[in-house]
Amino acid sequence: MMSALCRLTPTVDMWARLTVRRRPTTVSSRHMIKALLVGVISMTAVGTAPAQPRVQVTGLFSNMHYVRETGDVVGLEVLLVVGTGGGYVAVAQMAEGTPLTPTVVPVVVSGTEVAFELPLDRTLKFSGRVTRPALVGTLDGKSVTLRRGKSYWQCEQPER
């Protein structure tokens, strides 16, 4: 009985005889070079153009701070948000000794470039660019850098 089972069990040699044998195909060196070039070019194209993550235009930007020697709060704080209809608005607060009441103004945005006007005792014009760490530009012709992050009002306030 054992020998009958052994005869019914296919062997590797039997499967090899059942497979169709093909002649090995040859690839010309010209075709091989073309295939290699296409592979190298496609890998290079993918490797040289990494996707740049977009800079988020919205956020809170501030250089407002407390000056201990004089007891003054100075600087500018700007919160850029999306407004009605998909446009942008800024909630801006200036401080020159004492903080002024925040003002809501429309913002012109083109990519990462932003511009707005603050109607104070005279109109101050801001134009600049949003980067990952800051809003950098000019306010009334003076260079200004507002770091992205928390509001001055979210930090621990000094006793006055």
Q: Please report, in tens digits, the pLDDT of each residue of the chain (160 residues total).
A: 444 444 444 555 544 454 555 555 565 666 566 655 555 455 544 545 555 668 999 999 999 999 999 999 999 999 999 998 889 999 999 999 999 999 999 999 999 999 999 999 999 999 999 999 999 999 999 999 999 999 999 987 776 5
For residue 158, being part of any structural domain is answered with no
Q: Is 28 helix (H, G, I), strand (E, B) or coil?
A: coil
What CA–CA distance (Å, rounded) separates 128 from 141? 11
* 39 and 74 part of one domain: no
Q: What is the pTM of this model?
A: 0.66
Supply the pLDDT for residue 15.
46
The answer for residues whose C-beta is within 8 angstroms of residue 99's C-beta and 6 or more apart is 64, 73, 93
* 91 and 125 part of one domain: yes
For residue 157, being part of any structural domain is answered with no
* 119 and 40 part of one domain: no
Which range of residues forms the domain containing residue 16? 2-48
For residue 141, being part of any structural domain is answered with yes
* 44 and 65 part of one domain: no
For residue 105, being part of any structural domain is answered with yes
* 42 and 17 part of one domain: yes
Total domains present in the chain: 2
Q: Where are the alpha helices (DSSP H) in the chain?
A: 2-8, 12-18, 29-48
